[in-house]
Chain A
Amino acid sequence: MKNNKKNPVLLIVLVLIAGALVFVAAIVTFGFLTENTARNQARFSAAILTDLRRIEASLLDAETGQRGFIITEDPSYLSPYTRGVEEYGTAYSGLRDRLRDVQTTSQRMLLEDLSSSSENKLAELAQTVELVRRGERARAIAIVKTDLGKDLMDDIRSVIAQLENEEQDILQTTLAKAERVQHRIGVALIAALVLILGLLVMVFYLFRRSERLDRTEDLLDEVTYHRDRAELLAQELSHRVKNLFGIITSIVRMTGRGETDSGIVVGKISDRIGALARAHSLTTASETRKHVDMKELVQAVLEPYHTDTHDFTLDGPAVTLDSGILTPLGLILHELATNAVKYGAWSAGPGGCIAISWSVADETNGASSSLLHLTWAEKAGAGSALVEPEGFSQSSSGFGTKMIEMSTKQLKGSFKKKWNDGLVVELVLDLDDEFTDGSN
């Protein structure tokens, strides 16, 4: 039995790995977004700072032009002034637009301060330039001397410096936050990777363990199988031993009847038990269902009778017999052999031979079955002849004949004998029939 059950721990670990991967993906995305925000903020802040510098520079230009014009009264000195005023307009509106949606309260207020101071400054410049144009240079100088323009310029510088600081602060805060986030992401990434690594090690371990468990289970199955088989064999063996004791008891009791000479009785009993033993020696206890070969069985049973003068021939295909056939067929063959020694081919001089042949025919009438035809034909040796016994054709009530009949019945077969210059026995057995060895 293979361990194909879902391992809940393995499932949990795999889910955890998937979770960790999702987490890694999420923090990497978050890190990327944070960095992007920081980069945008830096770009934005740089633009703001540039705007502020342009505003300051434009106002200084305008002032420079005004001063030159006041001193020289030469209109060509006015060009920085004119350029400065224009430049201021675009720079300021650019800054205002940029900050419109993101400005802080203090930025808004500083922007208003900048706007009003710049407007005042520009108004002062415009007024003095206008006075010089109208030839009232003394009044213009008087206005400059009031230090109003200088004070306004100082205010403007101060406000711009504050705005710059403010923007720098915002940028630094954003960058610092991004850095913190990056640091945390780094730590989280390492932790997640360590976790994933740990989980993968766990998966590997679980697979190894499940493999080991499978192997252990296989081993256990095998042990159980062999133990069951051994038990079955022991039972089978026990049955066969009991059965054989029953058969041996019967042999002893029956052989003893009607005989007065104990020597003859003992000889017959030991011959019959010997035949039984030889037939059963063909099976081994190593298989639960034992099969024996036809040829081996005949050889084993006839072996003690086989001498130079007691010959037999075997002719037939390889046939595997169920072990249940051993006792009846072995005893039949043994009775025929002892009969041959007493009255048949092996009784009359040398050269007597028994031809034992068999064939298997498959019959398919209804259920398929294969029939074993066994022929036992005795022939006398050269120069001697066998004499048909008196009353051969009448049914005999002798022990041997009766035992053969009964054993044939046990094999659900048929038995026929005839005389053809010697005894000829024909035995037909159904091989497919389930023979039991009577071990009950």
Chain B
Amino acid sequence: MVLWLSWSLTWMMSLPTGATDLDIRILIAEDEALIAMQIEMDLEDAGYRVVGPYLSLPTCLEALKTERIDAAVLDVDLAGFDVFPVADQLQEAQTPFVFHTGRGSHERILARFPDAPICKKPAEVTNLLKQLNLPASIG
């Protein structure tokens, strides 16, 4: 607990942000509108900036090209498509991300991303943030 707090604090200090307004941008990929909205609102309440939410794989991949992203919450199945191409790009860019899935079995995810954190749906935003090594609130 102390460890991750100190780690995230150091990480936060290294971010190029204003003194009061931390601009941490979290991408949301989630195909269920209500759940996407809820995560978006909760993240915004916690003081984060939300990129998205993206409800389909093509829009999400498009966003990766143009948007600056510091972390990501990824629903594994995006309207019938695996979110893995997005995760691949994030991993390459060393951007932290957390998988948010309703599936009981995580084998398929762990086979491709053995170290990736996974949260079971529906997850508290605080839990998602913890998995991303981010504080519960920066407001």
Interface centre among A251, A327, A436 (most CB of B within 10 A): A436
- Given A245-B122, A246-B122, residue A328 in contact with residue B33 (CB < 8 A): yes
Q: Closest residue to A435 on the B side, CB-wise?
A: B79
- Given A249-B38, A403-B34, A403-B37, residue A409 in contact with residue B102 (CB < 8 A): no
Complex-state Cα separation, A246 to B37, whole angstroms: 12
Residue from the list B37, B41, B102 in contact with A242, Cβ < 8 A: B102
A246 contact set on B, CB distance < 8 A: 32, 35, 102, 121-122
Residue from the list A245, A327, A402 in contact with B37, Cβ < 8 A: A402
Q: Does B34 contact A436, Cβ atoms closer than 8 Å?
A: no
Q: Does B102 contact A410, Cβ atoms closer than 8 Å?
A: no
CB distance from A77 to the nearest CB of B (A): 134
Q: Does B33 contact A403, Cβ atoms closer than 8 Å?
A: yes
CB distance from B121 to the nearest CB of A (A): 5
Q: Does B102 contact A247, Cβ atoms closer than 8 Å?
A: no
B31 contact set on A, CB distance < 8 A: 410, 436, 438, 440
The verdict on B26 contacting chain A, using a C-beta distance below 8 Å, is no
Q: Does A253 contact B38, Cβ atoms closer than 8 Å?
A: yes
The verdict on B103 contacting chain A, using a C-beta distance below 8 Å, is yes
Question: A-B contact count, CB below 8 Å?
Answer: 82
The verdict on A412 contacting chain B, using a C-beta distance below 8 Å, is yes
Complex-state Cα separation, A44 to B91, whole angstroms: 112
B37 contact set on A, CB distance < 8 A: 250, 254, 402-403, 406
Please provide the chain A residues from 225 to 271 with a CB less than 8 Å away from any CB of chain B in the complex: 238-239, 242-243, 245-247, 249-251, 253-254, 257
Q: Does B32 contact A410, Cβ atoms closer than 8 Å?
A: yes
The verdict on B60 contacting chain A, using a C-beta distance below 8 Å, is no
Complex-state Cα separation, A440 to B32, whole angstroms: 9
CB distance from A248 to the nearest CB of B (A): 9
The verdict on B76 contacting chain A, using a C-beta distance below 8 Å, is yes
Complex-state Cα separation, A439 to B33, whole angstroms: 12
Q: Closest residue to A272 on the B side, CB-wise?
A: B34
CB distance from A257 to the nearest CB of B (A): 7
Q: Does A242 contact B55, Cβ atoms closer than 8 Å?
A: no
The verdict on A331 contacting chain B, using a C-beta distance below 8 Å, is yes
CB distance from B60 to the nearest CB of A (A): 12
Residue from the list B32, B53, B104 in contact with A438, Cβ < 8 A: B32
Main secondary structure of the interface of A (DSSP, over half): helix
Complex-state Cα separation, A403 to B37, whole angstroms: 7
How many A residues, CB 8 Å from partner? 29
Complex-state Cα separation, A331 to B118, whole angstroms: 29
A328 contact set on B, CB distance < 8 A: 33
Complex-state Cα separation, A403 to B76, whole angstroms: 22
Complex-state Cα separation, A410 to B33, whole angstroms: 6
CB distance from B68 to the nearest CB of A (A): 22
Complex-state Cα separation, A128 to B56, whole angstroms: 145
Q: Does A436 contact B38, Cβ atoms closer than 8 Å?
A: no
Please provide the chain B residues from 48 to 96 with a CB less than 8 Å away from any CB of chain A in the complex: 53, 55-56, 75-77, 79-80
The verdict on A432 contacting chain B, using a C-beta distance below 8 Å, is no
The verdict on B134 contacting chain A, using a C-beta distance below 8 Å, is no
Complex-state Cα separation, A331 to B56, whole angstroms: 19
B79 contact set on A, CB distance < 8 A: 410, 434-436, 438
Residue from the list B34, B56, B121, B122 in contact with A406, Cβ < 8 A: B34
Complex-state Cα separation, A253 to B122, whole angstroms: 12
Q: Does A412 contact B34, Cβ atoms closer than 8 Å?
A: no
The verdict on A117 contacting chain B, using a C-beta distance below 8 Å, is no
Q: Does A439 contact B102, Cβ atoms closer than 8 Å?
A: yes
Please provide the chain A residues from 254 to 308 with a CB less than 8 Å away from any CB of chain B in the complex: 254, 257
Complex-state Cα separation, A405 to B99, whole angstroms: 25
A66 contact set on B, CB distance < 8 A: none
The verdict on B36 contacting chain A, using a C-beta distance below 8 Å, is yes
- Given A434-B80, A440-B76, residue A242 in contact with residue B121 (CB < 8 A): yes
B103 contact set on A, CB distance < 8 A: 239, 440
Complex-state Cα separation, A402 to B20, whole angstroms: 29
Question: Would you list 16 pairs from A and B whose C-beta atoms are within 8 A, ordered by A residue?
Answer: A239-B102, A239-B103, A242-B121, A247-B35, A250-B35, A253-B38, A253-B42, A327-B32, A410-B55, A434-B79, A435-B79, A436-B79, A436-B80, A439-B102, A440-B76, A440-B102
Q: Known contacts A436-B77, A438-B79; can you find 20 more A-B pairs with CB under 8 A?
A: A243-B102, A246-B102, A246-B122, A247-B32, A253-B41, A253-B42, A254-B38, A327-B32, A331-B34, A402-B37, A406-B33, A406-B36, A406-B53, A412-B55, A434-B79, A435-B79, A436-B31, A438-B35, A440-B102, A440-B121
